[in-house]
Amino acid sequence: MTSVLVVIASAGHTAPREDGAGPRHTAAVHHTSIRCRQCHPRQREEWLASAHARAATSGAYHRALEHVPDARRPSCAPCHVPLAGNPERIATEGVVCDACHTADAAARPGGVTPRPELATKFGPYADSKDHHFHRVAFSAFVAGSDLCIACHSDPEAGPVVVLTSAVEWRAGPHASRSCPSCHMPGSKARAAKGGPERTVYHHGFGADRAKSLERAIHVKTRVARTERAAELSVSLTNAGAGHAIPTDLPERRLRLEIEGRSASGEPVVRFERAFGRHLVDAANQPAPFFLAVRELADERLAAGATRHERFELPAGTARVRIRLSYQRWDPAFDRYYGPSEPVLVHDSEVRVR
């Protein structure tokens, strides 16, 4: 591990050569992810598919900004455009490599405090070696939960808690596991071209949502006969997440849809239940987080908890289809965020005898 207290004032500020053989420690300024790709192609490719890569440019973010009161708008950038103030290309890459790898502490809540002048990439290894492009150093801040919490929790107390994952994680059954231990699964590969084989961590944050939600939520269904009708019970257990599902953005929803059909396939009955948080504005109307003053209800699946839902099936119901899907936001908020496609998490059918 290198001492990061040594700041070489003359380091960098010289354009690196395309073959990477530039002057010593050329990384003393921020670089776009394209520069990192030269030696870290795997991380670049995984990151490109992640929500972090879209944080500064997504349609949802820009549409939302149009509805945010002027005075509040500048507060959005520290997390969505953490490298604002750098050349435009880097800023528009959102939560980009250097936003996470050039800081080893959060000096202020609600965002990171990058220190490119150190020309050091902070990461998970204690045994990697400095090279001409950048120095390396182990950082408990980066490899633990604190880096994530810097952006995934509210910078200051507002009228409602908006980002809840860190609060829920601390109080939940998985507090002994770090955010990256679940969100960045490890595998054996090279961390950099020409480097040794070691454990590297996946940078796809949220890229395989359907699969990870299917693993995390256990769905059990059962049909019981009552005197005149039948009752379907569905239990949903949040077995795999370190926080509620959904978490953070309060407009996210899990939607359970039940569809009963007769023996000949005619629709007989339909139910729908959505699990999420319900925030309202001063006039008690449903509101997105940036206009909300109060939480009316929280109906999410808490970490480790099970919800039991019951549905009465009328006579004549022969089979029931049970579908669970994830929605990036309740369609009622499309006018603030634009349209979003639901992601199917569970789909099964049971017979009613």
Binders in 94-123 for ligand HEC, by CB under 6 A: 95-101, 110-112, 121, 123
Q: Which is nearer to ligand HEC, 47 or 311 (CB)?
A: 47
Q: Which is nearer to ligand HEC, 12 or 124 (CB)?
A: 124
Indicate which single residue of 24, 25, 40, 255 sits in contact with ligand HEC (rule: CB under 6 A).
40
With binding defined as CB under 6 A, does residue 25 bind ligand HEC? no
| Interface map 285-314 toward ligand HEC (x if CB under 6 A) | -----x------------------------
How far apart are CB 316 and ligand HEC at their closest, in Å? 37
The C-alpha R_g of the chain, in whole angstroms, comes to 24
CA atoms of 72 and 76, how far apart (whole Å): 8
With binding defined as CB under 6 A, does residue 134 bind ligand HEC? yes
With binding defined as CB under 6 A, does residue 147 bind ligand HEC? yes
With binding defined as CB under 6 A, does residue 174 bind ligand HEC? yes
CA atoms of 346 and 324, how far apart (whole Å): 5
Q: Which stretch binds ligand HEC (CB under 6 A): 212-220, 221-229, 258-266, 275-283?
A: 212-220
Select from 353, 271, 269, 272 the least CA-distant residue to 318: 353
Tokens 């679940």, located at residue: 182
Tokens 């017979």, located at residue: 351
Select from 86, 247, 68 the least CA-distant residue to 153: 247
Indicate which single residue of 230, 241, 258, 269 sits in contact with ligand HEC (rule: CB under 6 A).
241
Positions in 67-96 near ligand HEC (CB under 6 A)? 68, 72, 75-76, 78-80, 82, 95-96
Phi-psi region of 284 (alpha: psi -120 to 50; beta: other; left: phi over 0): left
For 199, 206, 240, the CA distances from 173, given in Å and listed in that order, are 26, 21, 10
How far apart are CB 241 and ligand HEC at their closest, in Å? 4
Q: Which stretch binds ligand HEC (CB under 6 A): 4-12, 149-157, 222-230, 257-265?
A: 149-157
Indicate which single residue of 11, 29, 119, 201 sits in contact with ligand HEC (rule: CB under 6 A).
201
Contact 154, 65 (CB under 8 A): no
With binding defined as CB under 6 A, does residue 125 bind ligand HEC? yes
Maximal C-alpha separation, the chain: 84
AA letter at 43: Q
With binding defined as CB under 6 A, does residue 142 bind ligand HEC? yes
* Per rule CB under 6 A, count of chain residues that contact ligand HEC: 97
Sequence-ordered list of residues with C-beta below 8 angstroms from that of 112, at least 6 positions apart, any chain: 82, 99, 100, 103, 106, 147, 150, 151
Contact 194, 184 (CB under 8 A): no
